Structure 1
Amino acid sequence: MRGRAPPIHWVDMHSSPLAPVFTALRAALHTMAAVLAVVVAVRAVGSGGATSVAAMTLAALWFAIYASGVVLVRSSRAGWWWLAALSLVWLGCLSVSGEAVYLVFVMFFLYLHLAGMRWGTVCVAMSTGAAVVGFGMHNGWSVAAAIGPILGAAVAVVISAGYQRLFDEVRSRQLLIDELLATRAELADEQREVGRARERERLAGEIHDTVSQSLSSIQMLIYAAERRAGGHSPELRTARTAAADALAETRRLIDELTPAPLDGRSLSAALQRVTDDAGGHGLSTRLVVDGEPFGLPMPVEAALVRVAQSAIGNVVQHARARVLRVTLTYSSDEVHLDIVDDGAGFDADVASGFGLTTMRRRVRELGGDLDVVSEPGHTSVAVGFRVEAGLR
């Protein structure tokens, strides 16, 4: 039923700062039910007569059903049966004792909570009428006898409306908090992964630029010395072999630290793989390599591959594009990567997503430039690095 809230005990608000408030409200309702049931039973005893035993029994049965429902009922369908049983027992008690009118105040809150404000108000109005009629049949008709249940019903409606609004507000805030916590955890994991990847790339670059280059130079020097010795020096030959083995091991270590798409591949081959993967999502893809390829510092190659992965991933997920073109251009002292699609585009001036921010930071840290131009039907991501001949 639309607008219906779940029963009090079905809602987990333990993590909410307002949990004590809801606990206090539940405790107050349970206490009121117990006190009123005792009042009805005691007053029935005091009235004497043949109906007193029936009134006491029905009051006790009513509270037993109430208490069992609080503990056992776990679904909305069972809640309706529980409420129907309470209503029937209450009406039976009211038929034999006018004192049972007191129990209607607990019923008001149960109707409003289980049936929601719309249908709950209808139930409250009907039970108010039943209470006035039942009390009048046993104690006579008067305006004062009618005012009590009516005022009680009005107060119950106002309190339940406030409770429902508070409940909805707390629930929406709790959902928002849960989403924020989950997002924060995801971002933390992603940042840690990015940090590990950047550190791996940095280490690979350092090893490539220092240890690998030094071992290569040592190997060449030993080879030159061996040639001058006429190739008859077993010590130099052993040293050259050891240097070659160390260089091979260093290169293997660099490969392990290199991003996966570059593992065992040239830059163009890695970009071809990333581009082909996008073609599996219904895009028409093409990679163009312009100019004479030359060796690039490993961090630059890794950055180009990572930018391509991120930009092409955005095209696949968000652009609704049909055509994707990737161009790798080598000039005398520069390398450029252009990723162009014909998708829906976006506002590049205000875009600040994590992927775009990461691309900008990665390129900027290596001294490169990244430009993004986007409009409906055309989006381009252009990356450029200036590469000195001695760093190739």
Structure 2
Amino acid sequence: MTDGMGTRMTDGTGTRMAERAADGAAERPALTALRRWYTAAWLLLGLIPSVIAVGNDSGPAKWASLVLVALALAYTATHRALIHPTGYLVALAAGLGVMAALPGGGAALLVVALPQFWFQTRGRRAAVLLSGCAAAATAAGSLLRDSPGNAVAALTGYAVSVLAGVLLHRLVADSEARATALAAELSLTQEQLADAHRRQGAADERERMAREIHDTLAQGFASIIVLAEAARTGLAGDPERTARQLRSIERTARENFAEARVLVGSAPHSGLTPGSVVPTLRRTLERFAQDTGVTVDAELPEDVDCDQQTRIALLRCTQESLANVRKHADASTVGVVLAQYPHAIELEITDDGRGFAVEESRGFGLDGMRKRLAELDGELTVTSSVGDGTRVLATFHTNGQA
């Protein structure tokens, strides 16, 4: 079906193009003939008065007029004159010489015609040569009419035109060279910019993957290590607690395995469904309390009105903060407060652990949280001091929009 449609479309397009080409071919001779007759009318209109004026003259003026008429008719009959500008310019040079030989002279026409020799030739040498021929013909015609002043004027105009033409050619050449250099520089800059964008994209992707691994797999492995150590310690004394810890190890390992498969497949995943952040936070806090024995005081609303990226960030910030409490704080109580305001959502996590010097912290987790919140136009504030516990406040600006 596709091939059939493609064939019909190609045939139809080819037919239309052929029809347009045929129409153009049919119109071209008519337009060419019309242009020739139009040009002939104007040439004859301009030449007839001069021919009449010298009709009774038996001198050179009569023959000059006849030659001029012949040149005009030859030019009119040559419908390919624009395709061969050299032939046209040769005829123009001869015509200027003949005009200069007419009564009253026509040397002034050379000044008007000189720009054509520069615009219709491709090389500077050809322009100088052909315009020189025109100047020589005009000077010769002026001398035939015994007008040396016109001959001098023609040669002077030619010299000025050569000087102006050479300067103009040089300016054009310099402009083209600058344009070529600028185009090459622009192309190089675009290539460098594209390469920089590719490198930056790769760096951003590496950073994103590192953050996701830290927020998922690394925290899961840290939990497994802590639970395994606790289970080994309590093997003989508290079998029930040990069994509970082993179940937590198994569950965490399965979750890590699922997260690893998601990361390898580069599919976005957080364990969240739209609108499910509060129940997920409750389960996370309950598991933390069961695994660590730390008392958790949570103040969570029924739901928060925000987009999915903000929900994921809320969960990741909670997981990272609890992981830091587990690994470093040695706390007995953790407080979690989630609140929504007209223009912001705030997540506050506090503990009564040993605290730390915030300015000396070089951990990846806090930097990762700051960058994650910054991408969502949010802010992370960490307050802590040695011996006084820690307060983490994540603020998400919503501007009154979900």
For the superposition of Structure 1 and Structure 2, which TM-score range results when normalised by the shorter chain?
A: 0.3 to 0.5
- TM-score, normalised by the number of residues in structure 1: 0.42
Q: Return the structure number with greater relative CO, CA threshold 8 A, min gap 6.
A: 1
Computing the radius of gyration over CA atoms, which structure comes out larger, 1 or 2?
2
